[in-house]
């Protein structure tokens, strides 16, 4: 394993080490550094120092991997935590800052004491807390103040058959290409559609090795006009739209804009099928787009067909 990968491993383990602790707890949360991290900082800091001495490529690799891991841990802990492309740059800056702070202390004194390490990390955790508030608003974290450990937020993946049933899809007659927004780590519906021979893609913020899975925040993805034959989204985009609509500091205006962009990305005769419903928006589509889109309630879901 090369030096950078070794450092990435230690950094990723450190991020996972405190993953269940609340940054917002109003009592005192103890954030600890792992044994490996302590060992690295106290006795082998030259390995980090070397990155600065060499070139920026290796240092940037470490910063990028650390910020990616942090976002993954936050998003996995609560599906309503979300980061846009522009947020990633702020987070990378925070990682650069802590590394520079550690390096400066190391160069000044020739070593890093437990006290300095703890001060640097505590400042980093305060910065992470601000970063979460700036990017996701304060309301989401109200309940995080009550306990040292973070609350559990449900986020399930469902069988392809159940999704087809709930979305009311006519599985033998779908227009192509198909996109599943928030397809899940296992992209079960996309898999089944591709097995049936459809040109189907998934979109999710989760990493995937498959080239038919697009890795993006749906808010940053450009849904091009009249591109998609079928758009599906089960317990994903509309669920988050409802969540933001109910929240005082929710980003429902951004969701509304994206929803309209998604609608317009349907081909003529194309269908958008999603669950759960978003009643506030469906009224607008019904009243303002008569003759363009037809809306149908199918049990728990909504199907919208584009006519022109
Ligand atoms: C409850 S799961 C549903 C997965 C799948 N549709 C199903 O029914 O099995 C919601 C999915 O939406 C994804 N997701 C949440 N917010 C997202 C965002 N802003 N951009 C892209 N994907 C997102 C999550 O990563 C997760 O995979």
pLDDT in tens, 126-137: 999 999 999 999
Classify residue 55: in a domain, yes or no. yes
78-107: pLDDT as tens digits: 999 999 999 999 999 999 999 999 999 999
Q: 307 φ, ψ to 5°?
A: -100, -35
Are 7 and 48 in contact, with CB atoms under 8 Å apart? yes
Range of the domain at 230: 160-306
Same domain, 99 and 173: no
Same domain, 138 and 169: no
Residue 220's pLDDT band, with cuts at 50, 70 and 90, is very high
Classify residue 155: in a domain, yes or no. no
Q: Tell me which of 205, 238, 242, 254 to substitute to probe ligand 1's pocket, judged by most ligand atoms within 8 Å of the beta carbon.
A: 205
The candidate with the shortest Cα–Cα distance to 166, out of 230, 229, 234, 231, is 234
Q: Of 113, 145, 177, which one is at a domain's C-terminal end?
A: 145
182, with CB counted inside 10 A (0-12, 13-18, 19+), is buried
CATH assignment at residue 192: 3.40.50.150
Same domain, 128 and 189: no
Q: Which helix (H) or strand (E) holds 187?
A: none
| Predicted TM-score (pTM) of this structure | 0.94
Residue 52's pLDDT band, with cuts at 50, 70 and 90, is confident
Same domain, 197 and 299: yes
Say yes or no: CB of residue 154 within 6 Å of ligand 1.
no
- In the reported structure, the alpha carbon of residue 181 is separated from the centroid of ligand 1 by a whole-number distance in angstroms of 7
Nearest 10 degrees: Cα torsion 246, 248, 249, 252: 40
Same domain, 113 and 217: no
pLDDT of residue 154: 81
Classify residue 301: in a domain, yes or no. yes
pLDDT of residue 1: 73
Say yes or no: CB of residue 205 within 6 Å of ligand 1.
yes
Are 202 and 180 in contact, with CB atoms under 8 Å apart? yes
């Amino acid at each position: 394993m090369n030096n950078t990968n070794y450092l990435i491993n230690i950094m990723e383990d450190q991020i996972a080490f405190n993953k269940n602790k609340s940054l917002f707890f109003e009592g005192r949360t103890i954030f600890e550094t792992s044994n490996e991290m302590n060992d690295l900082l106290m006795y082998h800091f030259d390995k980090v120092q070397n990155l600065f001495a060499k070139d920026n490529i290796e240092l940037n690799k470490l910063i990028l991997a650390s910020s990616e891991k942090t976002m993954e841990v936050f998003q996995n802990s609560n599906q309503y935590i979300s980061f846009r492309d522009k947020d990633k740059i702020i987070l990378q800056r925070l990682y650069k800052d802590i590394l520079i702070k550690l390096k400066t202390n190391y160069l000044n004194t020739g070593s890093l004491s437990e006290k300095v390490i703890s001060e640097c990390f505590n400042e980093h955790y305060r910065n992470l807390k601000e970063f979460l508030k700036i990017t996701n608003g304060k309301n989401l974290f109200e309940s995080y103040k009550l306990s040292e450990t973070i609350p559990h937020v449900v986020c399930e993946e469902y069988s392809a058959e159940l999704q087809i049933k709930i979305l009311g899809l006519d599985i033998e007659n779908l227009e192509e290409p198909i996109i599943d927004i928030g397809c899940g780590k296992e992209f079960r519906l996309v898999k089944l559609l591709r097995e049936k021979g459809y040109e189907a893609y998934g979109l999710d913020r989760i990493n995937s090795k498959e080239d038919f899975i697009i890795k993006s925040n749906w808010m940053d993805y450009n849904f091009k006009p009249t591109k998609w034959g079928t758009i599906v989204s089960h317990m994903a985009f509309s669920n988050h739209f409802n969540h933001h609509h109910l929240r005082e500091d929710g980003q429902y205006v951004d969701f509304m804009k994206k929803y309209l962009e998604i609608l317009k990305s349907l081909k003529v005769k194309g269908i958008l099928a999603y669950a759960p419903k978003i009643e506030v928006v469906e009224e607008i589509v019904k009243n303002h787009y008569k003759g363009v889109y037809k809306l149908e309630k199918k049990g728990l879901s909504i199907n919208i067909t584009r006519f022109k």
